Amino acid sequence: MKPETNAVNKENGVDDSHICKLETNGDLSGHRVRRLEEEFAEAITAMTFKKVQLDISSAHNIDSPGIALCVGLYKECKIKKMEFEIIVNDELRRIFTLVNLDKILPIKES
């Protein structure tokens, strides 16, 4: 099965300061979201990172489970005291702004 997460780069497997880059492929909507959640979990439960970077800039659309997923990941990082960063494109940024997520999630423009 082709992973939904395009690249999970473990640049430095041992170092706490390493960054976990999670890059999604395509829209964050529909049944794909559930799978992404599993993959994300796999990627970040194995070890502790200094920072988790979620790149969803390839998506054009996001539905509410998608949003919930982003929030879930953000909360997970908070619990594990990891930094969190989300990279979005203009379209997604607009949606995030509408629902006031831009005030909660640290957004980094692609």
Looking at the Cβ atoms of 73 and 87, the one nearer to another protein is: 73
For the chain, the first-to-last Cα distance in angstroms comes to 28
Which candidate, 66, 15, 3, places its Cα nearest to that of 86? 66
Cβ 2 to another protein shortest distance, Å: 19
At closest approach, how far in Å is the CB of 30 from another protein?
9
- Residues 6 or more apart whose CB falls under 8 angstroms from that of 96 comprise 88, 102, 105, 107
Binding-site ranges for another protein (CB under 8 A): 29, 33-34, 36-37, 40-41, 44, 61-69, 71-73, 75-76, 79, 95, 98-101, 104
